[in-house]
């Protein structure tokens, strides 16, 4: 995919990147993604994408996350036709199988019993959509997480205290979930929480937004 910056000279790029950034919308109601995005110091709004998150037949876990990240961004285009819209989706992958949000205590127990002592790929799909042009920049960011060899009692105690039923793979690493993890490996620690900021900064630059050269605060 060709960078939008490639069509400008260095001086033009500098000018574009120091101008006030476009309206930014986070297509998510997750308070954790909102907190992560606020770290960049850009003004943004949040919107509920109301997207069907079911995987398609024969779709790989990684393809599901990439497709849904873009689908979430496109779901709010009508309300924000001139914005840069951020969509993100995460799936847990083990042995070629997708583990999404468990939804219930029973499902979460089964997920963690399957994953204990194993290394799971928490794959995050990220999309930055220019609603005005229709151009979508999509990136996938894997994070390998090795779970502790948890006992059934560990699992029950963790789930009762944390209730991570809306988290892929039942692993809420920004909370008590860090205690069920033995180690993790990835390019961006923020990806496991649900919004890979390093990749997002790359994608924002493709739309002439340099977070280091803006002086605006986050919008509530």
DSSP letters, 59-124, are --HHHHHHHHHHHHHHTTTTT-TTSEEEEEEEEEEETTEEE----SHHHHHHHHHHHTTSEEEEEE
CATH 3.90.950.10 at 4-213, yes or no = yes
**What pLDDT does residue 172 have?**
85
**What pLDDT does residue 215 have?**
52
Residue 86 burial class via C-beta count within 10 angstroms: exposed 0-12, middle 13-18, buried 19 and up: buried
**What pLDDT does residue 18 have?**
41
**What pLDDT does residue 213 have?**
87
Catalytic residue among 89, 149, 152, 219: 89
CA 69 to CA 54: how far, in whole Å? 13
Q: Is 219 in the active site?
A: no
**What pLDDT does residue 17 have?**
44
Cα–Cα separations (whole angstroms), residue 107 to 98, 101, 118, 169, 179? 13, 9, 18, 10, 20
**Which stretches of the chain drop beneath a pLDDT of 50?**
1-9, 11-19, 216-220
CA 207 to CA 220: how far, in whole Å? 23
Q: Where are the domains positioned within the chain?
A: 4-213
CA 134 to CA 115: how far, in whole Å? 39
* pTM (2 d.p.): 0.84
CA 16 to CA 12: how far, in whole Å? 6
Residue of 217, 215, 188 whose CA lies nearest to 200:
188
Residue owning tokens 């994408």 = 49
Residue of 194, 179, 104 whose CA lies nearest to 148:
179
Please write the tens of the pLDDT for every residue from 39-70.
999 999 999 999 998 889 999 999 999 999 99
């Amino acid at each position: 995919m060709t960078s939008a910056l490639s069509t400008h000279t260095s001086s033009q790029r500098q000018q574009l990147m120091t101008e006030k950034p476009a309206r930014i919308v986070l297509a998510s109601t997750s308070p954790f993604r909102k907190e992560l995005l606020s770290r960049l110091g850009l003004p943004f709004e949040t919107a509920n994408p109301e997207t069907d998150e079911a995987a398609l037949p024969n779709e790989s876990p990684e393809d599901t996350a990439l497709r849904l990240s873009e689908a979430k961004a496109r779901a709010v285009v009508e309300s924000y036709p001139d914005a840069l819209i951020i969509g993100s989706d995460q799936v847990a992958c083990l042995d070629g199988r997708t583990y999404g949000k468990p939804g219930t205590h029973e499902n979460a127990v089964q997920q963690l019993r399957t994953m204990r002592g194993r290394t799971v790929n928490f794959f995050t799909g990220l999309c930055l959509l220019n609603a005005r042009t229709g151009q979508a920049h999509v990136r996938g960011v894997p994070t390998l997480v090795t779970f502790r060899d948890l006992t059934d009692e560990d699992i029950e105690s963790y789930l009762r205290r944390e209730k991570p039923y809306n988290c892929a793979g039942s692993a809420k690493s920004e909370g008590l979930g860090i205690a069920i993890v033995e180690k993790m490996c990835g390019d961006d620690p923020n990806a496991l929480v649900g919004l890979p900021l390093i990749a997002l900064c790359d994608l924002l630059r493709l739309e002439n937004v340099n977070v280091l050269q803006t002086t605006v605060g986050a919008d509530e």
